[in-house]
Homo-oligomer: A and B are copies of this chain.
Amino acid sequence: MKARVHVSLKPGVLDPQGKTVGDTLSRLGFSEVGEVRVGKIIELELEDGLEPSHAEARVKDMCEKLLANTVIEKYEIELA
């Protein structure tokens, strides 16, 4: 079983990395680009045979304890 966690900055939190990417794209001639935000994707290989609801709760726990800084970041969990 695999889990995919998408960690991104909460709306309203400044994203200097995204700003730099956006500015650089404009300078390269991609004038159609507006705001750019950069986030992380964490792909976890989980033990087989876990119950999906249990797995989701465990991954949520991982996010709260390590994977996301919940003061400024939000996360979405996808199981596959």
Q: How large is the interface on A (under 10, 10 to 19, 20 to 34, 35 or more residues)?
A: 20 to 34
| A28, B58: Cβ atoms closer than 8 Å | no
* Residue A72 interfacial (CB < 8 Å): no
Please indicate the chain B residues that have their CB under 8 angstroms from the CB of A6 in the complex: 41
Copies in the complex: 2
* Residue A13 interfacial (CB < 8 Å): no
Least CB distance from A6 to B in Å reads: 6
Please indicate the chain B residues that have their CB under 8 angstroms from the CB of A42 in the complex: 18, 21, 36-39
Q: Which chain B residue has the least Cβ–Cβ distance from A34?
A: B45
Please indicate the chain B residues that have their CB under 8 angstroms from the CB of A61 in the complex: 30
Q: Interface code A37-80, partner B: CB below 8 Å = 1, 0 otherwise?
A: 11111111111001000010010011001110000000000000
